[in-house]
Amino acid sequence: MIRSAPLCKASPGFGLGLRTQHYPDFQRQRQPLDWLEIITDNFLVEGGRPLLMLEAMRRDYPLAMHGVAMSIGSADGLDLAYLQRVKGLAQRIEPLWVSDHLCWSGLGKTMLHDLNPLPYTEEAARRVIAHIKQAQDILQRRLVIENVSSYVDFAHSGATEWEFLHHVATQADCLLLVDVNNIYVSSVNHGFDPQHYLDALPHDRVQQIHLAGHSRHPTHIIDTHDHPVCEEVWALYAAACRRLGPVATMIERDDHIPPLPELLAEMAIARAIAKENVGLAAVEKSASPVGTRQPTQLPDRSLANAPAETGLSAVVSAGASPPGLLQLQTDWLVYVLTDPPDANAPARLGLNGVSGLGSGLGLDSGSSHGATDSPADRLGIYHSAYRLRLCEVLSESFEKTSSYMGSVLFDQEANQFVVQQPPAERNLGRYGSNLPAFLAQRYPDNPELAELAQLDWDLRTRFDGANHPALCAADLAPQADGHLAFIDMPQPLHPSVVLRDSRTNAIKLWRAIDDDVDVPEVAYLPKEDEANGPPGLMVWRWNLQPHFMRLDPAQYRFMQSLAEGLSINESSERWADTDVLPTPEVLGAWLKDWLAQGILRLG
């Protein structure tokens, strides 16, 4: 008998998610783990330290790529340019596999940056299957798809989540990343048995397992990845090991990230549980082979029992008229972006009522008996999460501005900003470019706020910009006549250089906050000095680190002409014998500083 090759790669063992807080640990010594998972979207950058660190990690550990922005369930199609960037990164680092989520994250040019749930309908199944196949064609590899946690239930769903996932995986011929914590979270929120979920999965397609923590609330729990793995999830993981056999497993922590030894200790627990339970997998599979083929005892409404070319016809409550996928996602997006939230949205989206925490499962929630959520309550989780998540991103990207304004005022303004200007970027690190202009409009009498925010943003975006060598004194080679060719080079500034007007002492404010000393009073450019033009601020990257410096009006105006494309020689001719460049010695002093600090480009 000829055996077919396994669908999944052999398990590389046990790993962790790579987080910047732990870079020093990995640089100091090799850590006792088998592989690392990276967040794909954090490395879809042009250059800088992130990619250098990634190359270093790749030399010591196998890497898996895990994305959060493919939006495989979006009704308006995939972002093909984004997929090409993912493909480029995969070609660069040769990962174990590439994964993303069974969800939708945005629509059109608006990204909600959340793992929004899908209705389990024929239309959604067709869309997801087609998108996975399209992504696999572009990536030239099987995609690994992760189940997400959810807090709402669509009345027009025609299958359970596990039936839908089974059908999608087999019809799209993809692999699965089983997040055990997400199964547990959803089982508690929706009142199903998580063991039924595990039993129904196509076990031969499970490539990876995630383990993580969550946050408990009186009537529900939320997948937050900010706590250690709880006992219930460990127990479910043991069951997964018995059902699935040896599967690559990792600990996932995205917030309240502890020291690396704590995560390694959790990983050791996973290793011990797997060692104890994986040996029982063969026994369980022989006793109940449901996971290696299409389930045979699912209800007629299930995707798995429907013809492959159609999936299922959605089972809809009597009298209900379900929205199409595009309309549902459009209504969802409008709801999330609207303040106050629309009270009619749950009905328009076709949401079912929900039970209390762990209803029907006999779970000890530690909450009051009989507590329940309405569909509006559950939908509100997504409404609040959008604002909380983006406000946290803005607070991190504009750290000094937030500190100067105070967290309460900054969060108020950030909340207004995220509603008025939702993200168009798939990389959250690129969200916020318009915040300085937003603050300038909101606070015209406080220009230091916009300047401080602009400095925060320019420093942030220099960090991972494109790599380009800088010109230094050692690179200077005079021609036979003693002429230096670089002074005739057009656009001689390093590509990372950005120039800004500086009419306040925002630089001093920034430095005081960074040094944790008393912040000086704000100061503005005197009116009588405006005739000579404002001083400038230059931000650039040198030796992989962002830098900034204040420029007096003369040097600023000279450098502006270089930024316009003039060569150093042409700019010298423009400004010779003026207040900008009264003598050649002034230019000589500037050039000495520029060459010493990587401000000019090489070649």
Whole-prediction pTM value? 0.89
Pairing verdict, β 536-542 and 545-551: antiparallel
Per-residue confidence (pLDDT) for residue 76, from 0 to 100: 95
**352: DSSP letter:** P
Is residue 437 pLDDT above 50, yes or no?
yes
Q: Percentage of residues in the chain with pLDDT exceeding 90?
A: 82
Using CA atoms, how far apart are residues 487 and 566, in angstroms rounded to an integer?
A: 10
Is residue 457 pLDDT above 70, yes or no?
yes
- Mean pLDDT (the chain, rounded): 89
| Conformation bin of residue 577: beta by default, left when phi > 0, alpha when psi is -120 to 50 | left
The residue-averaged pLDDT of 512-523 equals 97
Q: How confident is the model at residue 310 (pLDDT cuts 50, 70, 90)?
A: very low
Phi and psi angles of residue 565, each rounded to the nearest 5 degrees, phi first? 120, -5
Q: Higher confidence at residue 354 or residue 178?
A: 178
Q: Each residue of 185-216: pLDDT tens digit?
A: 999 999 999 999 999 999 999 999 999 999 99
SS3 257: coil
User: What sections of 398-430 are H helices per DSSP?
Assistant: 399-405, 407-420
List the one residue out of 374, 377, 412, 421 whose CA is nearest residue 391. 412
Phi and psi angles of residue 35, each rounded to the nearest 5 degrees, phi first? -165, 170
Per-residue confidence (pLDDT) for residue 372, from 0 to 100: 72
List the one residue out of 389, 352, 403, 392 whose CA is nearest residue 373. 352
The residue-averaged pLDDT of 248-275 equals 96
Is residue 445 pLDDT above 60, yes or no?
yes
The residue-averaged pLDDT of 390-406 equals 97
Best CATH choice for the domain 14-292 from the list 3.40.640.10, 3.20.20.150, 3.30.300.30, 3.40.50.2300: 3.20.20.150
Is residue 307 pLDDT above 70, yes or no?
no
3-state SS, 357-393, equals CCCCCCCCCCCCCCCCCCHHHHHHHHHHHHHHHHHHH
The residue-averaged pLDDT of 68-79 equals 97
Q: How confident is the model at residue 362 (pLDDT cuts 50, 70, 90)?
A: very low
**342: DSSP letter:** P
Per-residue confidence (pLDDT) for residue 476, from 0 to 100: 83
Q: In the block, which residue shows the tokens 């507590």?
A: 371
Cβ count near 508 (within 10 Å)? 16
Cis before 340? omega within 30: yes
Domain chopping of the chain, boundaries: 14-292, 468-603
Is residue 355 pLDDT above 60, yes or no?
no
Using CA atoms, how far apart are residues 387 and 528, in angstroms rounded to an integer?
A: 44
The residue-averaged pLDDT of 242-256 equals 95
Strand partners, 106: 111
Q: How confident is the model at residue 526 (pLDDT cuts 50, 70, 90)?
A: confident
The residue-averaged pLDDT of 426-437 equals 95
Is residue 3 pLDDT above 90, yes or no?
no
Cis before 307? omega within 30: no
- Per DSSP, the residues of 111-177 read EEEEEE----SHHHHHHHHHHHHHHHHHHTS-EEEE----S--BTT--S-HHHHHHHHHHHHT-EEE
Q: How confident is the model at residue 597 (pLDDT cuts 50, 70, 90)?
A: very high
The residue-averaged pLDDT of 249-278 equals 96
Per-residue confidence (pLDDT) for residue 5, from 0 to 100: 73
CA-CA-CA-CA torsion for 470, 474, 479, 485, nearest 10 degrees?
Answer: 20
Q: How confident is the model at residue 178 (pLDDT cuts 50, 70, 90)?
A: very high
Strand partners, 499: 538
Q: Higher confidence at residue 444 or residue 285?
A: 444
Tokens of 363: 């779970």
Using CA atoms, how far apart are residues 192 and 295, in angstroms rounded to an integer?
A: 18
- Say if CB 394 and CB 415 are below 8 A apart: no
Q: In the block, which residue shows the tokens 């040097």?
A: 555
Lowest mean pLDDT among 194-208, 316-330, 357-371, 467-481: 357-371
Per-residue confidence (pLDDT) for residue 528, from 0 to 100: 55
Q: How confident is the model at residue 473 (pLDDT cuts 50, 70, 90)?
A: confident
SS3 210: strand
Is residue 414 pLDDT above 60, yes or no?
yes
**35: DSSP letter:** E
Q: How many helices and strands in the chain, by DSSP H and E? A: 21, 15
Using CA atoms, how far apart are residues 288 and 283, in angstroms rounded to an integer?
A: 9
| Conformation bin of residue 57: beta by default, left when phi > 0, alpha when psi is -120 to 50 | alpha
Q: Quick one: 193 exposed, middle or buried, by C-beta within 10 A (0-12, 13-18, 19+)?
A: exposed
Q: Higher confidence at residue 317 or residue 206?
A: 206
Using CA atoms, how far apart are residues 497 and 431, in angstroms rounded to an integer?
A: 20
- Say if CB 130 and CB 162 are below 8 A apart: no
